[in-house]
Structure 1
Amino acid sequence: TFDIDAHGIINVTAQDKGTGKEQKITIASSNKLTKDEIDNMVKQAEQFADADKKKREEIEVLNQAETATYTVKKSLDELGDKVSNEERAKVEAAINDLDAARNAKDIEQVKQKMDALYKAMEPISQKLYQQEQAQQQAGGPGAGPGAQQQSQESQGGKDGDFVDADYKIVDDE
């Protein structure tokens, strides 16, 4: 069992059910903070709250920039020859600019360069989605007679040799 009293002292008791032996331990804090120390820590936390918030926002923006860089590089690698050299050069220049701003830790520049990177990648994404839609409209996978034939085979063979019937269970008792 665990018991915590009003002073923060923990009393732990364990009993072996087989032998009936009981062990006890008490855990108490060796050094407690005084009320003045606690008040001082609370004041410091309030004093530095704005600085902490600003630092957190900076770190989040830098992390977003790193994620954007990684994602765009991965997309370029996956697309390979589908991206023209001119488009690839624009995106890679935007990546380099974003990396430079990120290394300088200039948050406003990072935000601007991240927007520039997304704008450089946008025409590539639009072109790919348009190509994908054109392929689907031209009879992409799953739209031809092969799909219907497969579904018929899964229902009952090539010739449809199955019988749908109703039945009743009759007990002889």
Structure 2
Amino acid sequence: MAIQRIRQAAEKAKIELSHVKTTSIELPFITNTENISIELKEEELDAMSLHLIEKTIAPIKRALKDAELTTDDIDEVILVGGMTRMPKIRTTVKEFFGKTASTQVNPDEAVALGAAIQGAVLSGEVKDVLLLDVTPLTLGIETYGGLFSSLIPRNTTVPCKVQQMYSTAVDGQNSIDVNVYQGERPLVQDNKLIGKFKLTDIPPMPKGTPKIEVSFDIDADGIIKVSAADKASGKKSSITVFGKTGMSKDEIEKLVNESQSSTKDDQMKMNYLKHVNNLELIAFDSDQALKDWKKFINDEANENLSGKIQTVKTIIQDSRNGDLFDVDLIKAAQDELKAVTLEIIQEAAKKSRAEKEKENGNGNEDGNEKS
């Protein structure tokens, strides 16, 4: 009860100091034997709360940066929330923008008024006002190797619709998983999964041949519809995500801050995974070539190439698990595997040509004898 009385007295003093320079806090019998009698000045309150007031500048700077504006581009500043009645906050805002904030709107009602206007615009009751909403985080899908492919960048005005073409990563692939993420990091593991679906019955073709069009469509209510369609077969699948993010303001801010503080590390990880992806594709091609040319490859060469492919697969697995991070090793493995595969396949191709020539030669001899 004593703490509650002190909180109420502190709140009352704070409100009074928005209108006067000095106030008194009087709390008799806060305990059985003690009273509180304090005179508090506006300057003292400002000093105690300055570290919190200064925190309001960082979001303002970020909002201007996201909107690609400067303080000179701002015509009017509206204060939101009862705390903005505090003189020190108004002074801080004035110093930052170089202009006095408007007091025509009640700061306690500003958000409710804005929501009411937005509702009227969306329902069609108000037609002469344009309110632009934006996506708070980047939206995209997962691509080969766990990389995040951005389709709608952060702060894109909604409603909006974006389409982008993708393809398959391996030969004969007849389905793809479309995993939808939001976030600012280049790897999906650091972003948030908000929905997933599968596109099936894609005609089997060589990798990179199918054309898969992925479409993101966000309406004015922030509802996201993601679809994927195979251009050749016309097969289509989609998912609808209700709500813009499903994340709180603090969670969004945390993701943005993490992305800004880890840009260099993220870039290094992304570049490394691209090398790993390339190595995996080389291993896949080598494995496929080994099967296709098996008839013309001797046991020793077969065992040699199979062993190198298995070693490469272990390197890839360790890299994906985070147990290995060595760009030079990945590059060396790429060069070695390509060289060994090329040498074996060239030798196999020679044997294949020799066999065909022999078959053609026997055919001609038979023909000459008959003639």
Cα 1:123/1:7, change in 2 over 3 Å: closer
Which range is displaced more, 119-128 or 40-49?
Answer: 40-49
Q: Which residue of 1 aligns with 2:330?
A: 110
Q: Deviations for 1:62-103, whole angstroms, at most 9, x for unmatched residues?
A: 222221111111111111221111111111121122122222
Give the conservation status (yes or no) of the 8 Å contact 1:97–1:113.
no
Residue in structure 2 matched with residue 8 of structure 1 by the alignment: 133
Aligned to 1:88: 302
| Aligned CA distance change for structure 1 residues 41 and 92 (closer, same or farther; 3 Å) | closer
Quick check: which one's strand share is greater?
A: 2
| Structure 1 residue 56 corresponds to structure 2 residue 270 | yes
Instruction: Determine helix, strand or coil for the equivalent of 2:293.
Output: helix
- Residue identity over aligned pairs, in percent, reads 12
Aligned-residue offset at 1:104? 2.2
**Structure 1 unaligned runs (5+)?**
12-25, 141-173
Residue correspondences, number:
123
Q: State the alpha-carbon separation in 2 of the partners of residues 70 and 41 from structure 1.
A: 35
User: Runs of 4 or more off by more than 2 Å in structure 1?
Assistant: 1-4, 6-11, 26-30, 40-47, 106-111, 125-138
The 1-side partners of 2:356 and 2:221 are apart by 69
Q: CA deviation at 1:8?
A: 3.0
Q: What is the letter of the counterpart of residue 347 of structure 2?
A: K
Query: Considering only aligned residues, what root-mean-square deviation do their CA atoms show, in Å?
Result: 4.3
TM-score (norm 2): 0.27
Report the CA distance between 1:47 and its aligned residue.
2.4
State yes or no: 1:78 paired with 2:292: yes
Measure how far apart 1:7 and its partner are.
Answer: 4.4
Paired residue secondary structure (2:283) = helix
Query: What displacement does 1:46 show?
Result: 3.2
2:29 aligned partner: none
Q: 1:127 to 1:8 in 2, by over 3 A?
A: same
Unaligned runs of 5+ in 2: 1-121, 135-157, 160-219, 223-242, 361-371
Residue equivalent to 2:345: 125
Corresponding letter in the other structure for 1:56: M
The answer to which structure has the higher helix fraction is: 1
Q: TM-score, normalised by structure 1?
A: 0.51
8 A contact 2:290–2:302 mirrored in 1: yes
